[in-house]
Amino acid sequence: MDNPSRRDVLKTGGLLGALGAFAVVTPAQARPWRWSPAGSIPGTGSGADPRQVWDDEADPIVASLLERGDVPRVNELLRTWKKNSQPLPEGLPSDLRDFMEHARQLPSWADPAKLETAVRFNEKRGLYLGVLYGFVSGMMSTVIPKEALAVYYSKGGANMKGRISKTAKLGYDIGSRNAYLDDGEMIVTSVKTRLVHAAVRHLLPQSSHWADLAPEDVPISQHDMMVTWHSLPTSVMRTLKEWKVPIPAAEADGFLHSWQVSAHMLGIEDQYIPATWDDAESQAQQVLDPILAPTPEGVKLADMLLDLGKGLDFSLLTRPILGALTRFALGNEIADWLHIPREPVWGTLLDVAWGPFIAVREGLLPLPLAPDAYWTFDELLRQFVLLYMAELRPISIEIPEFNNPN
């Protein structure tokens, strides 16, 4: 048996204990589920512990596709399915087709006016979102232990940069003008991602690497989905507030709504989707904040992520700058977990000049006090946006057939 002691520790939830150098924390796994469905979109629900709920609809169908050897044919057919309003391709297995016809429907509570307001939010804040999705959400995913394990040992773990930037791209796509409209692509992206997650639930338990380390038998529960969800919109909103970016309430609500719809489309049950930012915050304090912790896999994934700009023509997206940015945005504790060195020059510049830079950009201060720093930061944000636009188009989400071969 590989490393039984680490598995044993993980199984009882004390992930940090497995690393020896860290204190054993109270296992989040062992705590009772407390978040009430009263704070969810329908305001009611069974209240079932989401750590024991996966995706009843998608999982059996995708497991069966994998068992039947249908996945290569399905992937080929689905490559042509790109736009929200496009009919499903001819020739899909009937069980999959039936599921997808149902899964592509927006929830009855989707509100076009709020989605339109989300577009306004994204247009106004688009320059920040590249760095926020990439370096707040993306880096955070490396200290979400179960996600780091799942990602590292699944097929995409062999190409971490691609995997993280695709998730960031989904965040970015949500903000496109036509995201959920007929000519947009968010519905397609979400339904395909739902299929990918269902495949991972079937495949990862067959990986001895994963099975030896994971604290559960089946990955990507509804609880895990919400954890990752909070690493996206909730963390973005928390950071924007920290940076003192003024956001009108209607725009904040629109942004939340676009992510609520995406949660539903990714297969998260409505009873777990927070209704308001206050509900989201209360849920994040329960599901996200206490579980952040380092793992050897997460440290390796973060190391790969710091090379995001390598070999590309983006002069500011270097390892030291990205490291300083991670430390600035996520704090010293997380940066130390990830073995990211301190960068005195860039670290100090961010500490001193980022606040005034935001204030000038937001029209709260008249002139940049340090024009060089202002333009450097502005260019940094622009390079992130370009990176996502240039690197990740077109995105093709395919159902995996195997785990990380390494």
Q: Which residues bind ligand HEM (CB under 6 A)?
A: 146-147, 150-151, 154-156, 163, 166-167, 170, 193, 196-197, 200, 219-220, 224-225, 228-229, 266, 397, 400
CB of 158 to ligand HEM, least distance (A): 8
CB of 197 to ligand HEM, least distance (A): 6
Comparison of 154 and 326: residue with beta carbon closer to ligand HEM: 154
Comparison of 28 and 225: residue with beta carbon closer to ligand HEM: 225
Residue nearest to ligand HEM (CB): 156
Helix segments in 79-185, DSSP class H: 94-103, 112-131, 138-141, 145-153, 160-174
C-alpha span between 98 and 157 (Å, rounded): 31
C-alpha span between 156 and 175 (Å, rounded): 24
- Least Cα distance to 151 among 53, 298, 9, 287 occurs for 298
- Least Cα distance to 169 among 380, 388, 390 occurs for 388
Comparison of 162 and 320: residue with beta carbon closer to ligand HEM: 162
For residue 56, report the phi and psi dihedrals to the nearest 5 degrees: -60, -30
Comparison of 293 and 321: residue with beta carbon closer to ligand HEM: 293
Comparison of 360 and 397: residue with beta carbon closer to ligand HEM: 397
Helix segments in 204-276, DSSP class H: 208-213, 222-229, 235-242, 249-265
- Least Cα distance to 258 among 245, 250, 103 occurs for 250
Comparison of 114 and 146: residue with beta carbon closer to ligand HEM: 146
CB of 282 to ligand HEM, least distance (A): 18
CB of 123 to ligand HEM, least distance (A): 21
Output b/e per residue, 165-176; b: 16+ Cβ within 10 A. bbbbbbbbbbbb
